[in-house]
Amino acid sequence: MPSLVEVQSLSKSFALLAQSPDAARTFKALDEVSFTMTRPERIGLIGPSGSGKSTLLRSLSGLILGDAGSGPVIVLGRTVQMDGRLGADVRAARADLGMVAQQFNLVGRLSLFTNAALGLLGRIPPLRGLFGLWTPEEKQRVMRALDTVGIADKASQRAKTLSGGQQQRGAIARAIVQDARLILADEPVASLDPVTARKVMELLVHLNEDRGVGVIVTLHQVDYAMKYCDRILALKDGKIVYDGPADGLNPDRLSEIYGPEIEQAYWRDPS
């Protein structure tokens, strides 16, 4: 079995506005990042604001390309990017990748059902998908996924009228319909109240433990990462400064990683 994720020496520089006419400077958002997920795990990506969490997550799907000489980034056995260029089989990798973002998860004017059914798109003839000509089996599959995430009763509602938590669950349903083998979730609970946030995190745990889906999730809240993830990758200034079990992180280590931001890094889960 190939690893779910293999990242080798991934660096990403962004251009900084020149401070003076002769100073075209760059800033390294990711600096020689390497890690592997060999079996379905729940990896929590943590670190202070600007440490590179979203940049790393987006690089895994090829939405951000690393610097020349970086990589490879191999996801589900397929090269997503290498040497600053997309790999030839990036589309195949994306077909098995579920994405959950903080916002803009769903197409607002489409129903929740249609949004979840979009998870079928990589697997059925494009024209049939475009016209929403789902088979009865596909409809059942979509409804089962909406039921799993607890919002089947909202199936016909337009996505833009759903609450934030329902939209996150809709995105997770789409990943279930897609039969995603790896879910990349970028701040999926940042805008949610603690009770809804807990439900969304529990769904990700369920997909990982009961369906063998790998999960990589960026989280601002250290306590959520430690409670719901089995492995933590901590980034600081674009470098991995911790890669290990959640219970290996003690308050001193976290203070070192977060510096003065440590106070804001906790969202004490009331449960």
Ligand X SMILES: Nc1ncnc2c1ncn2[C@@H]1O[C@H](COP(=O)(O)OP(=O)(O)OP(=O)(O)O)[C@@H](O)[C@H]1O
Contact status: 49 vs ligand X (CB under 6 A): yes
Residue whose CB is less far from ligand X, 181 or 236: 236
Contact status: 4 vs ligand X (CB under 6 A): no
Structure tokens at 7: 């990242």
Contacts of residue 60, defined as CB under 8 A and 6 or more positions apart, other chains included, come to 5, 7, 73, 75, 80, 97, 184, 216
Tell me the closest approach of the beta carbon of residue 220 to ligand X, in angstroms. 6
Residue from 5, 7, 29, 177 that binds ligand X (CB under 6 A)? 29
Tell me the closest approach of the beta carbon of residue 107 to ligand X, in angstroms. 24
Contact status: 236 vs ligand X (CB under 6 A): no
Contacts of residue 194, defined as CB under 8 A and 6 or more positions apart, other chains included, come to 267, 269, 270, 271
Tell me the closest approach of the beta carbon of residue 138 to ligand X, in angstroms. 35
Question: What distance lies between CA 223 and its chain's CA centroid?
Answer: 18
Residue whose CB is less far from ligand X, 13 or 196: 13
By CB under 6 A, what part of segment 204-223 binds ligand X? 220
Residue whose CB is less far from ligand X, 154 or 220: 220
DSSP-based three-state secondary structure for 258: helix
Contact status: 47 vs ligand X (CB under 6 A): yes
The structure tokens 């249609």 sit at 114
Contact status: 84 vs ligand X (CB under 6 A): no
Contacts of residue 67, defined as CB under 8 A and 6 or more positions apart, other chains included, come to 11, 12, 13, 84
Q: How far apart are CA 68 and CA 90, in angstroms?
A: 18
Could you list the residues that contact ligand X (CB under 6 A)? 14, 29, 47, 49-55, 220
